[in-house]
Amino acid sequence: MDILFFSAQPYDIHYFNQANQQGEHRFRFLEAQLNEDNTALIKEETAVCVFVNDKVNAAVINILHEKGVRLIALRCAGFNNVDLKAAAAVGIKVVRVPAYSPHAVAEHAVALLLALNRKIYKAYNRVRDNNFTLNGLEGFDLFGKTIGVVGTGNIGAVFCKIMLGFGCKVYAHDIYENEELLEAGVKYVSLDTIFGQSEVISLHCPLMESTRHMINADSIASMKMGVVLINTSRGGLVDTAAVVAALKNGHIGALGIDVYEQEEHLFFQNFSGSIIQDDVLSRLTTFPNVLVTAHQGFFTKEALTQIAEVTLNNIRSFEKSELLLNEVK
């Protein structure tokens, strides 16, 4: 099958070519994001492979349909950037990679937490300047602290287990309770309890209308002073302007994010020689207690290998008219 990749980076090319060593599919890789302005780049491809920041709205989907595209293959778990109703209306199937390496994202969330708490990034820069003082690098023991986890799917569940290993008290909130986590000592509570009693809150839930801006001025006001907030899930879960205000008044003690609600304009691109026009993100990066990474939580060898293999298996199943196990409807 002929497949056109949008938002393709060098690592996408490497891992997908590696998974296609038998030459079963023909690839064309574009660095450009898919949107209404560049659908003309589509030629004879039957499938398009897209990532988290590609815009696959109704207008784009109608053009895909006119050009003969029959499959949208997401090489990620999230699908909030795809108009599923529009795709269904024109008969285009949508598949995704529901799980690749939950350990990759969960471990990255832990890395953000540890780096913020123990000021690793500050210490690194000091030592490089031959400054070996410890003033301002004080952290706190995670042992015994209450960690609130919103969402206990594959990634959230791994994060819970890691926090239990640190000796933390783990509170979780999800519409479905994980029996394994319950047996391990995780306590399921209301979202209000998560907000009100946690020293650390980590988000691991999908972005839907019901979860959009779940972290807002009101929910922040109910949190403990100095709470540490970690988000490696979806940027839209957080009202960034409200978080900036809470960082300024000290209500949020530290923020670690791997996602950002306006990231499609920035992430996976190099603006090192430019002035960033996003004032909110620019303000965020001025805080000494904020750590931003550019959606790299998934970025491990194991995860990239799994993403390529599952994506191609999804395409193979579609081509053979087999049951699409990872179809999004």
Positions marked active-site: 234, 263, 295
Angle between helix 102-117 and 120-128 (nearest 10)? 60
* Residue linked to tokens 């691991």: 204
Residue 187 · residue 241 · CB < 8 Å: no
Contacts of 301 (CB under 8 A, 6+ apart): none
Whole-angstrom distance, CA of residue 313 vs CA of residue 238: 34
Region class of 321: left (phi > 0), else alpha (psi between -120 and 50), else beta = left
Nearest 10 degrees: CA dihedral of 88, 16, 50, 279?
160
Instruction: Give the Cα separation of 248 and 250 in Å (integer).
Output: 6
Cβ atoms of residues 288 and 250 within 8 Å: no
